[in-house]
Every structure is written in C-alpha cells, then in structure tokens.
Amino acid sequence: MKIAVLGAGAWGTALAMQISQRHQVALWARNAEHVSGMRKARSNPLYLGDFRFNDHLSIESELEAALQDADLILSVVPTAGFRNILKEINALGSQLPVIWANKGLEPETAKLPHEVALEELGNGRHWGALSGPSFAAELVRGLPTAITLAANDEVFARDAGALLHGGNFRVYTSTDVAGVSVGGALKNVMAIASGISDGMEFGNNARAALITRGLAEMTRFGVALGGQKETFMGLAGSGDLILTCTGQYSRNREVGIRLASGQSLSDILQSLGHVAEGVNTTREVIRRAEQLGVDMPITYEVDQVLSHGKSPRTAVENLLSREQKSEAV
C-alpha cells in the first residue's frame, strides 16, 4: 500500500512518518529547496527538528511522481491552498480517494474543506476529513494520539481508517464530515481567545468558561451547517478544542498570548514560522455566521481584535458584560 502525503509542514511530516511505519509513503512539498534539504538530512529540520525518516518514506517535489502507484492521497496543505491542490490532482487525471487534514475556512469564500472537496471532486468519489486533538511534536515522538476520520462513505471511512490506525495512533470513524470540519476550524478561533485570556492572567476559571462557551458556539455553527451535535462532544469537537486552548504547542493560543502582551499581529505571524489557521478562519467564520444568522460572540470579539484594532482587554470585558442568559442557549 502506498499513500501520498501532500504538504511537508510539521503535521504533514508527522503523519507521513507515522504512516510509513506500516506503508510506503511519498511525502510531497512544492518548494524544491525544502525537498532537497529533507532528502539530504532524511528529516524535516525546518518544521520538525531532527526526527529521522525511515526507509519507507520517499520525498518528492513533483506531484505526479508522488501520486504514481499511490492508493490514497492525504492532503495536509494549508486550507488556503486546498482547492488548488485538488485542481492539480484532477489535472493529472487522478481518481484516487482524498483525505485532508487541513483545518479552517477557505479565504474569500468562507467555505469549509468538505464544501471545497464537493465542488472539486464531486460526491461520486471517496473523500474525508482527518481531525482531532493532535500535536505533531507528540505524534512524532510516539506518544498516544487519537483522532477522527469522517468520510462521505461509511465503508470507505472504515477501510481508510484501518490503513492509518495502529500503534500509538488510534483512528475513530464517522460520516459527519460537516461536524468534523467545523470542529477543526473553530477550535483555532477559540484557542486565540483562550490565549488572550491566559496572556492577561485571567486565570483557570476564565479559561474553562471560554472553552465551555466556545464549544456551545462551535456546536451552534456546526449544526446550522448540517453537522451532528454529538460530533462536538467527541475527539474532533471538545477533544481538539481543549487541547488547542490549553496545550503548549498550540500556535493559535500563542497568537492570543502575544496579542495580550501588546505585540502586533504582523510581528506575531512573522515570528511564528508556521501557519496559524485561526487568524484567517476568524474573519471567514464571521462572514458565514452572518449568512446563517448564528450568534458567535467569542468569534466576533476575536475578529474585532485581529482585524479591527480592538484591544484584547476591551474584547474580554465586552464578553463579560453581555446580558444574562440561559446556558442552554
């Protein structure tokens, strides 16, 4: 079995290394210099340190070469480039099933990855989303990790999940692609809010409240888009949310912490060196929520900080001063 992993950032590389313990893997990156460096080092020092690749993992700079003789495509390119990579796959005449592990909403269209996949791949082809509480730095060290694979076909979800499942990597399956996609996107927005709260030293009580109300906000948005409420109680919902809002490796939480300290967003993003999907996602969620008529108070305040110059302290104060309401709303 051969799996083509597209995108050699930290998460793409970690997944490629994990899967290569049981299958042949071609790890593709667009940047030829990056590919050359990985081939020479047999690792990805740019994004994942000196963890060594095994002999089952090859590195490719040509997409056609990566897809040759593959049985499955796992796309881990940023959401902003997801549509383009699907178009490139189609242009090569490939009909391989596609699973993606990117999270967020497409810039300008505010569409989730599964909506992009439906437009570019159609519903007659197998595709799905891989999401859940998972830091690359822990997976690559062999630490226990459990995630969800949601697909447009139950049998495909089970079979593809079985290919990825094994060792320290547990894969649960679902057919709620919409719910899993929303969970993966919105947890990054909530992590920025959590980081702001932590950066301002508002304490554990405030963080717990943000996570809990953030979950309610995610669920409202997801159900409005056809997701199942139960999904948000699982790994791709509350599990990923808790990890991203509290974990030391969370880039989106780090964005919030630095914003609270007074750093500018441009300086923060330049120094991170990795994509923080929540920054772009926040603006698109606001756009989509307005279309759906869904109340998103935490997302709104995060957007005000990121895009409209509101101070982090004022944003938190606005959330605290909202009128009393039932928790069930």
Q: Which residues are catalytic?
A: 187
Strand order in the sheet with 169-174: 57-60, 24-28, 2-6, 72-75, 98-100, 127-131, 145-151, 169-174
Cβ count near 176 (within 10 Å):
25
Q: How many residues does the chain have?
A: 329
Nearest Cα neighbor of 72 from 15, 134, 140 is: 15
Cβ count near 245 (within 10 Å):
27
Contact 69, 150 (CB under 8 A): no
SS3 62: coil
Which amino acid is it at 8?
A: A
Contact 285, 186 (CB under 8 A): yes
